[in-house]
C-alpha cells in the first residue's frame, strides 16, 4: 500500500484528485475541486468530454487501458467516479495503489439491479415486489401478481433506457425478446404519489451527512424538475428516506457521495427505487441552494476532509435542460438565455456539449429565492420562456 493510500491520511489542497468519466458530473466535481485548490485528472476516451475540457489533465483512453490507468495512478493521489457504469475492475485496480471512493464492490452492486435489490433487502429497506429473469424458466415462473409491471435490464439501464412497461404475459415475453433476452428484473407497477431522492456523503471513518430530501418529477423516464423546500416532502416521510439511505450506505461500508431514489405510494408507504454511487442530477440545486454542494462533499470524502452537515439557505427548484429545447418545429434554435437570466435567482449551468439531441442532458437551471412562492413563480416563468412543460 502506498503512502497515499494510508488509511486516515488527509489530502490537502495542492494534491491531485482523479475521476473516471468525463461527463457533466465529472465537470462539476472538477470545478469544486479546483475551487478548493486541488489539481485534477480525468480519464475519459472522448477528447471533447465536458470534464476533460476543464481539467488540468485529460487522459484520452478506455477505462480499462493499462497504460492510462497506470498514468492516472501516477498523477492522482485519490480517485473517484462520475458514473456508475465505469468498469468496477478499473476501480479495483486503481484501489491497489490509492484511495478510491466509491470502492469497486459498491459500484459493482449498483451496476446490477438484482444485486442492488438484494442489498436493499439485506438492509431492511422495502422494494417494489419483483422477480429476476435470467432464462426461460424464470420467465415461465413469473407470478401473475407482478403484472402489470416494468421490465428493466439488470445492467446498463439509465434515464428510462432498457425499460419496458408490460401488462400481460405475452407483452412480458415480447419485451424480454426485444431486450435480447438479457438478464432483467420485473418490478410490479405501484400506485405512486410522488418520487423523491436524497444525497448522503459518508467518510472513511463512517461519519455521514446528508442534503435535504428532494422531490422529483420525471418525464419519459428522465428527471425533469427537482424541488427542495419546506413542505415538498412530509417530515415523517423525509426522515424515513434519510434513515433508509443511511442504512444502505452503512451496509455497503460506503465511502463517497451516494444518491438513493424512492417512490412515495398513495397509501403513505415508501419503497426504494435505485441508488447511484455518485452525485446525482437531483442534487445539482445544492451548488447555489446550500452552503456545501454535493460536489464539495464528493471532494471532501475523497480527500478525507471533515464532513460538515450542509445547510440549505434558499428554497430551490431545478429544471433539467434537455437537447429538445434547442429544436422547435424541426428547426434548430438557441434557447432564450437572456430572458431566463433576467429572472431573479436564476443560475444557468451548461455542460459544454456540442450536439443538442432529444433527451440529452445539456445543462440545468436552478432557481433560488427568499420563499417557496417566489421561487415557484420564477421557476414556472423560466419554464415558460424555455418551452418546458408546467409542473
Closest CA to 46 of 21, 24, 70: 21
Using the 8-state DSSP alphabet, how is residue 317 labeled? Answer: E
CA distance 211 to 286: 8
Sign of CA dihedral 98, 99, 105, 108: negative
Q: Is 187 annotated as a binding residue?
A: yes
Q: Is 347 annotated as a binding residue?
A: no
Q: Is 137 annotated as a binding residue?
A: no
Cis peptide before 126 (omega within 30 of 0): no
Q: Is 160 annotated as a binding residue?
A: yes
Core vs surface per residue 152-185: b (16+ CB within 10 A) or e = bbbeebebeebbbebeeeebbbebbeebeeebbb
Q: Is 254 annotated as a binding residue?
A: no
Q: Is 113 annotated as a binding residue?
A: yes
**Torsion of the alpha carbons at 66, 70, 76 and 80, rounded to the nearest 10:** 30
Q: Is 162 annotated as a binding residue?
A: yes
Q: Is 190 annotated as a binding residue?
A: yes
Centre a 10 Å sphere on the Cβ of residue 58 and count the other Cβ atoms it contains. Answer: 19
Q: Is 152 annotated as a binding residue?
A: yes
Q: Give 153-218 as a 3 state SS string.
A: ECCCCCCCCCEEEECCHHHHHHHHHHCCCCCEEEEECCCEEEEEEEEEEECCCCCEEECCCEEEEE
Q: Is 75 annotated as a binding residue?
A: no
How many residues are present in the chain?
A: 391
Q: Is 261 annotated as a binding residue?
A: no
Q: Is 188 annotated as a binding residue?
A: yes
Q: Are 46 and 52 in contact (CB under 8 A)?
A: yes
Strands 214-219 and 192-202: antiparallel
Using the 8-state DSSP alphabet, how is residue 6 labeled? Answer: -
In the annotated binding site for ATP, the residues are 113, 152, 157-163, 187-190, 195, 218, 273-274
In the annotated binding site, the residues are 113, 152, 157-163, 187-190, 195, 218, 273-274
Amino acid at each position: 500500500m502506498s503512502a497515499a493510500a494510508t488509511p486516515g491520511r488527509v489530502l490537502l489542497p495542492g494534491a491531485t484528485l482523479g475521476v473516471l468519466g468525463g461527463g457533466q458530473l465529472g465537470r462539476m466535481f472538477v470545478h469544486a475541486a479546483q475551487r478548493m485548490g486541488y489539481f485534477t485528472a480525468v480519464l475519459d476516451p472522448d477528447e471533447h468530454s465536458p470534464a476533460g475540457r476543464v481539467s488540468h489533465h485529460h487522459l484520452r483512453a478506455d477505462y480499462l487501458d493499462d497504460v492510462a490507468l497506470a498514468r492516472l495512478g501516477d498523477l492522482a493521489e485519490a480517485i473517484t467516479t462520475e458514473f456508475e457504469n465505469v468498469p468496477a475492475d478499473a476501480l479495483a485496480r486503481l484501489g491497489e495503489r490509492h484511495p478510491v471512493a466509491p470502492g469497486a464492490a459498491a459500484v459493482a452492486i449498483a451496476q446490477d439491479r438484482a444485486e442492488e435489490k438484494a442489498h436493499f433487502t439485506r438492509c431492511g429497506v422495502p422494494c417494489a415486489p419483483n422477480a429476476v429473469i435470467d432464462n426461460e424458466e424464470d420467465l415461465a415462473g413469473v407470478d401473475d401478481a407482478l403484472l402489470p409491471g416494468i421490465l428493466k435490464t439488470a445492467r446498463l439501464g439509465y434515464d428510462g433506457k432498457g425499460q419496458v412497461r408490460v401488462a400481460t404475459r405475452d407483452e412480458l415475453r415480447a419485451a424480454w425478446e426485444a431486450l435480447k433476452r438479457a438478464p432483467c428484473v420485473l418490478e410490479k407497477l405501484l400506485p405512486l404519489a410522488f418520487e423523491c431522492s436524497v444525497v448522503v456523503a459518508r467518510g472513511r471513518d463512517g461519519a455521514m451527512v446528508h442534503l435535504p430530501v428532494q422531490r422529483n418529477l420525471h418525464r419519459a423516464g428522465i428527471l425533469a424538475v427537482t424541488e427542495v423546500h419546506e413542505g415538498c416532502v412530509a417530515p415523517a416521510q423525509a426522515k424515513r428516506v434519510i434513515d433508509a439511505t443511511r442504512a444502505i450506505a452503512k451496509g455497503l461500508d460506503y465511502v463517497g457521495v451516494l444518491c438513493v431514489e424512492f417512490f412515495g405510494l398513495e397509501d403513505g408507504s415508501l419503497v426504494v427505487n435505485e441508488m447511484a454511487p455518485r452525485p446525482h442530477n437531483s442534487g445539482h440545486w445544492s451548488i447555489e441552494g446550500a452552503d456545501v454542494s454535493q460536489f464539495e462533499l464528493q471532494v471532501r470524502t475523497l480527500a478525507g476532509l471533515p464532513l460538515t452537515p450542509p445547510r440549505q439557505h434558499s428554497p430551490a427548484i431545478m429544471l433539467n435542460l434537455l437537447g429538445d429545447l434547442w429544436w422547435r418545429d424541426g428547426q434548430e434554435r438557441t434557447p432564450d438565455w437572456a430572458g431566463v437570466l433576467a429572472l431573479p435567482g436564476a443560475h444557468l449551468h451548461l455542460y459544454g456539449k456540442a450536439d443538442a439531441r432529444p433527451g440529452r442532458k445539456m445543462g440545468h437551471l436552478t432557481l433560488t429565492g427568499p420563499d417557496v412562492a417566489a421561487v415557484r413563480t420564477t421557476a414556472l416563468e423560466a419554464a415558460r420562456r424555455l418551452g418546458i412543460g408546467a409542473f
